Structure 1
Amino acid sequence: MLRPDTFAPDTLAIVTGAGSGLGNATARRLAAMGARLALVDLKAEGMAALAGETGALALACDVADGPASQAAFARILAERGRPRVLVNCAGIAPGARIIEADGPGPLEAFERIVRVNLFGTYNWLRLAACAMAQNPPDAEGQRGVIVNTASVAAFEGQIGQAAYAAAKGGVASLTLPAARELARHGIRVAAIAPGLFGTPMVEAMADEVQARVRDIIPFPQRPGRPDEFARMAVEIITNPMVNGAVLRLDAGLRMQAR
């Protein structure tokens, strides 16, 4: 199915969160290596240029919406066939305090962050896995690969990141049991836990917050580049021994409390 330098012509890869940041960079790298693409993002405009350049199928969809996702996935199957690769990059990272100035933090904020980052990841994992299980196996019996996006916040969440850390911790904890369950179908599951990366989501953080984090990155002392995430995703996809693992991609960063 997969070779180190390129993908077989029939390889369909789904990338969620493809409209910007890590998802966009990953989709571009996959396309450059010959994969066919299905792009998923809440906002269609972010995918337009990439779809035009690559001929990808672009679908505007809330990844955590069950019926909408099933409809989008059905369209992928009908128009492009079954995927062999899924890279889940869709996510949000707003701050959400447990206690705010006027009382308890709103439950709705916690629910929204967990819904997009964790429910959305699981939702597309389950849809893709069910389809991948029907693929013909390659020479090693592999039928598909799923790469999810966790975060270093799963392990060292900062003040104001309780909801985000809980959601990304869920993604990290999902990795091994999903890999174990899907092994009998020839499907591998792994996750990347990025540190500070130069994406719109990170750039929306206050400048002083970004500066504090940059100061504690050992080396290289800079935000990661989205294509560096994409390269790690490709390594997971093409290396058959990567399974059930959460791989940190953080230049040695260990987050402080604030």
Structure 2
Amino acid sequence: MLSLPGPWQQRPLAETRTRLTPIFSAAQRDHVNLFAPGDDFHSWLMQAVSVTRHGPGTARANTMRARLSTLASIYTTLLDEELLSRDPMHGLVWPPLEHRQAPLPPPEEVTRLLRHAEPDLPLHAALTLIVRHAFQVADLLALRWPAFYHADGTLLRRRTLTRLDDPSYRSLERLLAQAGGPLADPQGPIFPYRTLDDLRRALFALSLQANVPFISPSQLRQVSLRDVDHTASSAGFASQRREPFEQAVALARSVSEKLNSSS
């Protein structure tokens, strides 16, 4: 299962195994089929993710959320590959988020960052797609030029086809011109970054140049969910599964409100 391509591959395999071990161990012990669980699956799952070496019910909320998030990403990939017909975690009530991270950056800092990125065409296009269309880094780095339909301004993503807004289209058009233009029909990767760390290093150097605090790619995506009036497809969510999209937007906005009110 873990050999399937998916968001969990951004993390070390050992970390993914650590997150999933309590769930898989409990499923083996209790004879729970994770592909087709019974009606009491949600209550069973919450009990499974709450276990630590100190016993049931001792895991912190963020630990439980991390375990649930990893399992949810696997289910999402299986649904995308049509290996599952329904999401076993649909309707699950998640533990509340423990707010320990710094407040999300204000819009003016993000605007300043994008302005300073303009001379670096690949970096500017990558950041624009994150900020305007809530791209996840794994999906961003996997993009190849045939996924960009220059004639109608759409971009084929892992779960949906997104119609690009004007800033995103212009940033990719500039990058396409650098690659030879539409007539050259480039086939390679759109971006030169091979790993998350490659992009983070470029973003860190840009933050220093723009004289703003370092803003991670995940924070920029949360800014997008907070500030942009998205549809499911504009943010990269499958349109037939609105619940994950609505939860992500609500979470980004509630986290921002709580953190900024306490800062």
TM-score (norm 2): 0.27
Normalized per residue, which structure has more helix? 2
Tell me which structure has the larger Cα radius of gyration. 2
Normalized per residue, which structure has more strand? 1
TM-score (norm 1): 0.27
